Structures are given as structure tokens and as C-alpha cells.
Structure 1
Amino acid sequence: MSDRALSFGMMAQAYERFRPGYPEELFDTVAAYAARPLRTALEIGAGTGKATRLFAERGVAVTATEPDEAMLTELRKHVPAHVRTVRAAFEDLRPGERYDLVYAAAALHWTSPEDRWSRMASLVEPGGVVASFGGPIEPADPAVARTVRAARAPFLARDDVPSPDGTPPEAEMQWPGTELRRSEWFTDVRQAVIERRFTLTADDYIGHLSTVSAYLVLPEAEREQVFHQIRRVLPETLQITADVTVHLARRRYDP
């Protein structure tokens, strides 16, 4: 697991405050694709439970796994009491119980690529669903986005997470759909986008950036400088694009 993957625990409370939750449309999209009851789910890299709440509050028995104890502590403050929590990385999970749904919210790219899909297949029922979803949170105004990039440039060339398999951003099918299509374990791979727009204050946008791994791994002095430079060029409020890209696949019965 990379340093960026392990950087979130020190900011668990900020992550909870500044990261948005997930819309009900996301659950509806997953449930419609499943086309059968989703009684049980395993969540990979649950963080502070933003997605956990969505599924647990719709009646799914969620087992939320997360390797960072600070994140789990924060998660337990906010999720229904019936959610089961396990401190474990994806790579630590062992075959045993199988679930109707295995999902990851903005976390799957942190998992090890080695045997990723065979591991996943061992955790989901045949005919069950794998879901991965997330997306960047960015200024909606292209001019503001350019200004932010220019202010960030002396410290970071980019602050996103590159596609793990090198899929270019203009490709019709994005990762992990690309890998799922190549996997012998899964079929019926689909990609959907749930559009979201909202308004943030400049300070809350900086708060969000403070939870992004590219900034978290900077030396503290540089991190403070880049946030200062970005804050200087922001309007007091800004429109935000926060689309959720959803990838879905079904576990084959006979791989």
C-alpha cells in the first residue's frame, strides 16, 4: 500500500467534515443493476463511512473494512449500530463468507493490483455484484480551475490519482471497468455517471483539499504554502463539480 493510501488517518475528522456523502441515486443505480435483493455487503476501504451510511440505512447488512484505526473510530460515530466494522486492508481479507455486494467508495485504486479480481471474486456470491464509485471534486468554472492549477503548480504538477492501468481520461470506459472487462471472474460490466453540482465556500474547498492524498504527503511547510496560494486566488464561494462515476460488474457463476 502506498504512502498516499496510508495518509488519510491523520485527517479523519477533516475527511468526515469536508468530503461529501453519496446521493440516494447511487444506491438506486446499484440496486437496479443487481436486480435481486442486496441483503449483505462488504465495503472495502470504508474511511469514515460516507458510503456505509447510504447502504446501511437502506437495509443492507454492511461489513465495513478499513485499515486505519483513526478512520474506523470516526466511522463508528456516524453509522448505524448494526454495521459490523473490521480493521483490515483488502489484501488481508480471507475467503470465507460471501456477500451479495462488494463495493469500494473512492478506495479501490489504493488496493494492490496483484490478484485483485480473484480476491474480489472470492468475497462475492456467484451472480452477486461488485461496485466501485467515486470521482474528483473540482471547480466547475474552467477559469477558476485554471487559476487553481497555476497556484498549485510550483508544489504539485497534479493532485488527482492517475488511472492504475493507464487508461486515458478521454476513453469511453474508465478504470476499473477496463480491468473488469479483462477479468475472467466478472461479466456485464457497466459504467454510469451521476452528476452532482454544489456550492462551497473558499475555506471549505481548502478543507476538502486538505483531505486529498497528494497534499497530505507534502512536507507540512509546503502544504501550508500551497493552500495559502490557492486560497488567495479563489472567489469567496465557488461552484463545484462532483460527479460520481459508478462501475458495476457481476460475478460469473462459472469462471
Structure 2
Amino acid sequence: MPERALSFGTVAEAYERYRPGYPAELFDLVARYAAEHAGGPVRTALEIGAGTGKATRLFAGHGVAVTATEPDAAMLAELRRHTPGSVRTVRAAFEELPPDGPYDLVYAAAALHWTSPAGRWQRVAELLCPGGVFACFGGPVQLADPELAEAVRVVRAPFLASDDVPSPDGTPPEQELQWPGTELQRSERFDRVQQLLLPRRLTIGPEEYLGHLSTVSAYLLLPEDARAEVFRRILAVLPERLGLDADITVHLARRR
């Protein structure tokens, strides 16, 4: 996992270009949860593993004072190019963050699975004010057409059995409550755990789809010649337009 976690800096510009952003409905959902369960608005937030700032812009754009943390220099440089000057940035892994805050909100956008499980929830709780909110959101971007997905799997198989990131705690995909909701539910530091789904469907072209795959850690770890070949084979089976299921799974919890 650590190697995969640190693989994105080489494709920071592509990450910014091809990874989808986050809709306004996501902020509304987090803000509503905070109003109902934390007793007030979200004014300050710490972001774990901010990447190029896809989620940073969403929260900062709604007036939240965001401190965006990211260990990779290239990803952080891309973030700084695309976010408002009001965003505070810190180059550090979550485990290296100095004591700070407390914040109304600590959140992670498709990044929490890269953090170390040792002391994870104690550290999150220490960064939150009493009654503060933790939010985690993301999800795979998958081909909507099952036949096309199978065709891509077949041509990818000689290089990669799967390009998914496995559940950090081994939760099977058919279980209703997924990670990190499973860990939050067991934690003594958090309550009022919720898991919600924001449906999202995208339609893109084949080159754009390959651009997205070029930012996926499983492909980034392949040797360069193997990566070029698997992309060539995938491109050969893609239609002119393809639909993607890109639903966002959101986990919310309140610090006790």
C-alpha cells in the first residue's frame, strides 16, 4: 500500500485533468449532517491527503477555512495552482501532522485508505473539536456496460488481475456497511455513523478514459512498457463514447 500511496506525484497534471471533481450536493450533505448532529455550521476544516485539491475547492468555495495536507510535493504544487489563496497548505502525511486545530471538520476525499491504521481514529479525534464531524468520501469509477467491463478485464488480465484498491479492513463488497464506516462504528471516539450514496453517471471518450486509468495506482506501478501495452489493448476494445458509474459513497461520524 505505501508504494501505491506515493505513486501519484508523477502524474499530478493528469490527475488534475482526468479525475472527476465533487458536486455541490456533497457539501450540502456534510453541512446538513453538521447542523443536525454537531449543532452548528462548518467553519474550519482539515483535509487529509488533498491531492490536487478536487475536494479542497468544493469546501473552500463554500466559505470553509480549509487546511489542505498532502505529502507529495508535485500534487501539492498542482493544488496550489488551482485553489484559492485563502487555503492553507501543509506538505505532510497524515501521520506526520503536528498537533493543530481543533477543527469543525476533518475529511478525506479518496485518500483515507492510504493512511496508516495505527492510531488513525485517535489522531482524527484529536484534530476535531468536541462534537466535530469526520467525513470520508469517494468510490471507484467503473464502466457501466458489463460487457465492455468484461472485455477490458480480459485484455488487462495478463498485466493486472484487478485495478481495485481492496478494503483496508477486509470488509466484503456485498456487506451493507463498508469501510471506514465499519471502523467508525467500532470506535469509542465516534458516534452517529452514517453511510450515504450520491449517484453519479459520467459519459466520456476513450482517450479520456485512458487518461483516468493513467492516474490509477495499480497501473502506475506497472513497468512503463507493460503499462503502454495494456493501455493499447484497452483502447482497442473501447467504443467512441462510454458510460461510467462514479457513485460517491460518503461516511459521516461525530466525535464524542
Partner of 1:62: 66
Partner of 1:196: 200
The answer on 1:166 being equivalent to 2:158 is no
Matched letter for residue 58 of structure 1: H
Partner of 1:247: 251
CA distance in 2, matches of 1:152, 1:126: 47
Matched letter for residue 16 of structure 2: E
Gaps spanning 5+ residues in structure 2: where?
none
The answer on 1:87 being equivalent to 2:91 is yes
1:184 is aligned, of 185, 188, 198, to 188
The superposition leaves residues 26-83 of structure 1 with CA deviations (integer Å, 9 ceiling, x where unpaired) of 0011001011210000000000000000000000000000000100100011111100
Partner of 2:22: 22
Matched letter for residue 161 of structure 2: A
User: What TM-score comes out, normalization by structure 1 length?
Assistant: 0.98
Matched letter for residue 2 of structure 1: P
CA distance in 2, matches of 1:2, 1:231: 29
1:96 Cα deviation from its structure 2 partner: 3.0
CA distance in 1, matches of 2:206, 2:128: 42
Matched letter for residue 93 of structure 2: A
1:237 is aligned, of 228, 234, 241, to 241
> Pairwise CA RMSD of aligned residues?
0.7
Structure showing the higher helix proportion among its residues: 2
CA distance in 2, matches of 1:24, 1:96: 28
1:10 Cα deviation from its structure 2 partner: 0.4
1:94 Cα deviation from its structure 2 partner: 2.6
The answer on 1:6 being equivalent to 2:3 is no
Matched letter for residue 33 of structure 2: Y
- What aligned pairs does 1:139-178 form with structure 2 within 5 A after superposition? 139-178=143-182
1:151 Cα deviation from its structure 2 partner: 1.2
CA distance in 2, matches of 1:198, 1:150: 23
1:109 is aligned, of 98, 113, 116, to 113
CA distance in 1, matches of 2:193, 2:12: 33
2:129 is aligned, of 109, 125, 132, to 125
CA distance in 2, matches of 1:94, 1:168: 34
CA distance in 2, matches of 1:179, 1:223: 35
1:93 Cα deviation from its structure 2 partner: 1.1
The superposition leaves residues 208-233 of structure 1 with CA deviations (integer Å, 9 ceiling, x where unpaired) of 00000000011111111111111111
User: What TM-score comes out, normalization by structure 2 length?
Assistant: 0.97
1:89 Cα deviation from its structure 2 partner: 0.3
Partner of 1:214: 218
CA distance in 2, matches of 1:90, 1:161: 19
The answer on 1:46 being equivalent to 2:38 is no
The superposition leaves residues 71-120 of structure 1 with CA deviations (integer Å, 9 ceiling, x where unpaired) of 01000111111000000000001323210000000000000000110011
Gaps spanning 5+ residues in structure 1: where?
none
Matched letter for residue 217 of structure 2: S
1:137 is aligned, of 134, 141, 156, to 141
Matched letter for residue 234 of structure 2: I
